[in-house]
Amino acid sequence: MTEKLSNADKVLNFVKTNKIKFIDFKFMDFPGQWQHFSVPSAQLEKDSFEDGFGFDGSSIRGWKAINESDMLLIPDPNTMFVDPFIEAPTISMICDIYEPATKEKYERCPRNIAQKAEAYLKSTGIADTAFFGPEAEFFIFDDVRFDSGPNFSFYELDSNEGKWNSGRVENPNLGYKPRYKEGYFPVPPTDALNDLRNEMVLKLLDVGIPVEAQHHEVASGGQCEIDLKFKPLLQAADQLLLFKYIVKNTAKLRNKTVTYMPKPIFSDNGSGMHVHTSFWKNNKPLFAGSGYAGLSEMALYFIGGLLKHAHSLIAFTNPTTNSFKRLVPGFEAPVNLAYSQRNRSAAIRIPMYSNSPKAKRVEFRCPDPAANPYLAFSAIMMAGIDGITNRLDPGKPLDKDIYDLPPEELAHVPSTPESLNAALRALANDHDYLLKGDVFTEDVINTWINYKFDKEIKPMALRPHPHEFELYYDV
């Protein structure tokens, strides 16, 4: 608390010195979208970091009923940044959500779950820090239209660099359009988005997010990636949300739009979010050793936990119906539940770029950027801890090219769930590992499952799909 109050003084001094006019409070709803409201800077006092600000939680997705809607928001002074997209001088802070009657953190607040996950890791004695490095891919489009009604449904996306526009009259059409599945890594002018990505990187650096690299991704039509430096679990989740905020708003300033939807384009690559994880203790890496691919016994057991719980874990790491348009067998998506060094066709990869023990990590390749990072990172960590605690053998690695395996051999390689429905049913049957340390609760698990079924799976199941007319109209 002393550190928090000290940092609160720094925030208040910054507000005064820089003549900040507004304080913007950002917090996470249950499915995974940032929410916010603002107050004039005079409303922020030192007591605000203990007493918080009241608000109505009944309209926040997955939260309170209207008869119990009063909630309390308390800003975290460690997360302050100058918001580059609000015209009046404004600082933003990420907040924790509390029950006003008890002053206890709200059970369904995703950031609370991540904080409990970090505390649980320390309590086990296994490690004191779980580092996470997500690689969230995204598309930059020039036009997006979609709508749905009782008698119609459609979407249409466009990108000036989309290969489908090679024959479009553009007065002039200069012809530099990345071919399908060949967007990785042509130089400009074929890569038409380099300057925009640089602008995104500069804004990320301005708000304190360290960037390792930026580049065009495989798909035509504006698929990109900006790689961030790894951080401890909570910071990594906070950083990922700020990253998405910066990227989307920077694109909007240039009259473009960004989506982290996993599979917006048919017949080209979808957007994944490969998640790199490692455990450390007393500033020493724990995943380096003398085992396979330079891994420690702990790291191999961690992989064993991921593989054992993959079906239920994917309910959090791939949380949309659209996620499973990307996770389709027979293509490049990591649907095969195996592990390997270097091999990107396995769901779990051990990167081999460096022999340094500090670089030794496990890369889980199934997740996508639609995930709520607080929940996804916490679930990955809990599955890994279960593997370590129970010494779960991950089996033999699969270093062959999985796509060239004969059918009889491939039949022995398990796959990811085929749908969000299947993943949620797996979560209903396999979630004891998430309940340890009260990190997730039965209420959180049940609310997640029910929300996804009621708000996403059922509405999708009830509506005719446009492609069904192609298949069935003449029956």
Encoding tokens for residue 49?
């970091």
Interatomic CA distance for residues 41 and 158, integer angstroms: 41
168 catalytically annotated: no
| Among 191, 365, 368, 456, the one annotated catalytic | 365
| Among 118, 137, 238, 268, the one annotated catalytic | 137
DSSP string spanning 162-197?
-GGGTTS--SS-----PPTT--SSPPTTTSTTHHHH
Q: What are the φ and ψ backbone dihedral angles of 374, each rounded to 5 degrees? A: -60, -45
In total, the chain counts a number of residues equal to 475
| Among 215, 254, 344, 425, the one annotated catalytic | 344
| Among 56, 70, 393, 468, the one annotated catalytic | 56
Task: With H, G, I as helix, E, B as strand and everything else as coil, classify residue 251.
Answer: helix
Interatomic CA distance for residues 130 and 161, integer angstroms: 39
143 catalytically annotated: no
363 catalytically annotated: yes
161 catalytically annotated: no
| Among 274, 276, 311, 326, the one annotated catalytic | 274
Q: Which residues contact 44 (CB under 8 A, 6 or more apart)?
A: 11, 12, 15, 23
344 catalytically annotated: yes
365 catalytically annotated: yes
User: What single letter denotes the amino acid at residue 339?
Assistant: Y
470 catalytically annotated: no
Q: What are the φ and ψ backbone dihedral angles of 4, each rounded to 5 degrees? A: -60, -45
Could you tell me how far CA 418 lies from the centroid of its own chain?
20
DSSP string spanning 303-335?
HHHHHHTHHHHHHHHS-STTHHHHS-TTSSS--
Residue 119: how many other CB atoms lie within 10 Å: 12
User: What single letter denotes the amino acid at residue 88?
Assistant: A
| Among 83, 142, 363, 368, the one annotated catalytic | 363
Interatomic CA distance for residues 156 and 419, integer angstroms: 24
| Among 76, 217, 268, 456, the one annotated catalytic | 217
| Among 83, 191, 225, 368, the one annotated catalytic | 225
Kindly list the catalytic residues: 56, 135, 137, 217, 225, 274, 344, 363, 365
